[in-house]
Amino acid sequence: MFTIFGATGHTGSIVARQLLARGKQVRVVGRDPAKLAAFEGAETIVGDVTDAATVAKALAGAEGAYLMLPPDNANPDLIARNKQVNKNYVAGLEGVPHVAVLSSVGAERSSGTGPIVTAHNLEVALNDAGQKATIIRAAYFMENLLQNAYPMQHDGVLPVLGGGEAYPFPMVATKDIGEAAADALVNPDRDRYVELSSGPTEYSFDDAAKLAGELLGRPVKTVVVPMEAVVPTLSQFGFSPTVAGLYREMVEAFAGGLSFEGKGRRVRGKTTLAEVLRAGLGK
């Protein structure tokens, strides 16, 4: 039995479906019973990873598990919240032979990376517990661009936090992350670290705007949100002041050259940015 946390999310859904397609027994965990019901043949557990009892129940008897830290942008103390999730995972993992973990580029750093530090804390918690794991350090999600689907579709603009719009940088599709995690779960002895460094090529935000424009049949241009406006802008969209500040710190870290450590096996995804934008923009 493989337990998949965040099963209704971008990556967890891929992990669950990949394992089901391979004939594995799967237990999916999430907060929405209607969405969980879509995983035909899987055992379902409705609950939240912040609840220790739910995590323990979900991990009972599992031969492997997919761990991730669900986003919570409105949380007033995201770091503390995710430390509690980490404790729940570690407590529930006793007897679970192996896990695949969604981590991030830059997760080797203990500070200065904004929300990425929560992935660092999860890696440390698992290491300290002696848990056998495959740590998947992933690049920027291509799907993050689709958070700006409305302004691209209706205003012809792609907002870019902090600048760097012309610089090609590593980004990867969540489909490729999910497939890498599923592969790790069925091959537990293969890797300790996987750097999922990019898709088939690197793209800039300007490239993304051009591709979106081609799909939409209208010009789309990048518009820079200055660094000093990052926190106020994110706050307008429901981010807590703390989380908005963490995102500014992350943007600054990438502007300062945050990249992969060069640890473990380096993998490129196969999904192109055009495929992701076409699916997300309904084209």
* Domains in the chain: boundaries: 2-280
Q: What is the average per-residue pLDDT within 114-137?
A: 98
Q: Which of 87, 82, 84 is nearest to 103 (CA)?
A: 82
Task: Count CB neighbours of 227 within 10 A.
Answer: 14
What is the per-residue pLDDT for 282?
82
> What's the whole-model pTM score?
0.95
pLDDT at 25 over 70: yes
pLDDT at 283 over 70: no
Residue at token pair 């945050």: 258
Burial letters 129-144, b for 16+ CB under 10 A, else e? eebebbbbbbbbbbbe
- Is the Cβ–Cβ distance between 36 and 44 less than 8 Å? yes
pLDDT at 198 over 70: yes
We find that the CATH architecture of domain 2-280 is 3-Layer(aba) Sandwich (3.40)
Give the whole-angstrom CA distance, residue 102 versus residue 191.
14
- Is the Cβ–Cβ distance between 277 and 215 less than 8 Å? yes
User: What is the tens place of the pLDDT at every residue in 69-113?
Assistant: 999 999 999 999 999 999 999 999 999 999 999 999 999 999 999
Mean model confidence pLDDT for the chain: 96
Q: What is the average per-residue pLDDT within 227-244?
A: 97
* Phi, psi angles (nearest 5°) of residue 43: -80, 140
Q: What is the average per-residue pLDDT within 192-217?
A: 96
